[in-house]
């Protein structure tokens, strides 16, 4: 369960990102998915006066709906070829700024937007910092539904533990991303080189992407209950 302290830490990180976006006057803003990003959107909405001239590119339908609710103008990613800044959260962050993402099943579009962005800001609460990526979260893998059994068999033949993510304890079936992919959670073996593992998994036909992000972090803002660290 998320405690009050974690909520405040997320808010502190999100508010600092709002400072930066406003100071730098970005006009084309990519936006990730998750509870920390929601705080970013809500605070930006309070502090950004005129909406005109500022455009947002969301990484998920849930983020698009929240942006629209706050009166922001939203563009589909297919209509842009870059964003000036991209702001997103993460599930785990290592010392070198590499991350596991995809807790919200949105990592494919998140990675595309981070790739397209001129400047990436990641906002996390202090609980997301880890010594070893994969120590608390599995590696999410988005798979084309038709390839699911073939990919699962391949992952298992590689000695990996892989489970199809389900919603409502399986009552509502597999979790399907906004892009139509099924999410498979792969347990990261303790000694694994995650960069190599992710590349191998992404080379399997039918795999769209993994939630391993490396080399995207321009600025990491870590929120605590009483401060932020950058
Ligand atoms: C969604 C993500 C999120 O950034 C990640 O799950 C963190 O979420 P939160 O801010 O709610 O802790 O990768 O796909």
CB neighbourhood size of 26 (10 A): 20
Instruction: Give the rounded percent of residues in the chain with a pLDDT score beyond 90.
Output: 93
> What pLDDT score was predicted for residue 50?
74
3-state secondary structure of 183: strand
Reference 44, options 16, 63, 64; nearest CA is 16
- Answer whether residue 171 shows pLDDT above 90: no
30 assigned binding-site residue: no
What was the pLDDT predicted at 1?
53
Out of 101, 108, 110, give the residue to mutate to test ligand 1, the one with the largest number of ligand atoms within 8 Å of its CB.
101
Torsion of CA 38, 39, 45, 48, to 10 degrees: -130
Check if 230 is active-site.
Answer: no
Q: What's the confidence (pLDDT) of residue 54? A: 95
Q: Catalytic residue among 5, 84, 95, 110, which?
A: 110
Q: How far is CA 214 from the centre of its chain?
A: 12
Question: Which residue(s) pair with 183 in the sheet?
Answer: 142
Distance CA 25, CA 153 (A): 49
pLDDT attached to residue 42: 96
In ligand 1, the atom with minimum distance to the C-alpha of 34 is 11
Kindly give the pairing relationship between strand 219-223 and strand 228-229.
antiparallel
Ligand 1 mean position, distance from CA 60 (Å): 11
Query: Ligand 1: residues whose CB is within 6 Å?
Result: 32-36, 88-91, 101-107, 110
Which tens digit of pLDDT belongs to each residue from 176-210?
999 999 999 999 999 999 999 999 999 999 999 99
ipTM of this predicted structure: 0.98
91 labeled part of a ligand binding site: yes
Using one digit for the tens of pLDDT, what is the confidence trace for 33-92?
Answer: 999 999 999 999 999 977 778 999 999 999 999 999 999 999 999 999 999 999 999 999
CA of 184 to the centre of ligand 1 (A): 16
Buried residues in 73-85 as b, exposed as e (16+ CB within 10 A) = eeeeeeeeeebbb
Known binder of ligand: residue 76?
no
| pTM, 2 dp | 0.95
pLDDT of residue 170: 77
Q: Write out pLDDT tens, residues 126-151.
A: 999 999 999 999 999 999 999 999 99
């Amino acid at each position: 369960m998320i405690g009050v302290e974690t909520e405040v830490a997320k808010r502190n990180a999100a508010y600092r990102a709002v400072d930066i976006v406003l100071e730098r006057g970005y006009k084309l803003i990519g936006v990730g998915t998750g509870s920390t990003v929601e705080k970013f959107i809500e605070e930006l909405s309070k502090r950004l006066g005129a909406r005109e001239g500022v455009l947002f590119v969301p990484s998920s339908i849930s983020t698009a709906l929240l942006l629209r609710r706050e009166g922001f103008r939203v563009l589909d990613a297919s209509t842009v070829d870059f964003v000036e800044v991209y702001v997103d959260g993460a599930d785990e962050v290592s010392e070198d700024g590499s991350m596991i993402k995809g807790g919200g099943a949105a990592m494919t579009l998140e990675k595309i937007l981070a790739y397209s962005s001129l400047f990436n800001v990641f906002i996390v609460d202090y609980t997301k910092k880890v010594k070893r990526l994969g120590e608390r979260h599995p590696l999410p893998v988005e798979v084309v539904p038709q390839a699911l059994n073939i990919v699962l068999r391949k992952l298992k033949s590689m000695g990996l533990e892989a489970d199809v993510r389900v919603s409502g304890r399986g009552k509502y079936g597999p979790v399907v991303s906004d892009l139509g992919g099924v999410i498979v959670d792969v347990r990261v073996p303790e000694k694994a080189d995650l960069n190599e593992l992710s590349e191998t998994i992404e080379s399997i036909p039918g795999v769209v992407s993994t939630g391993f992000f490396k080399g995207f972090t321009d600025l990491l803002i870590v929120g605590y209950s009483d401060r932020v660290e950058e």
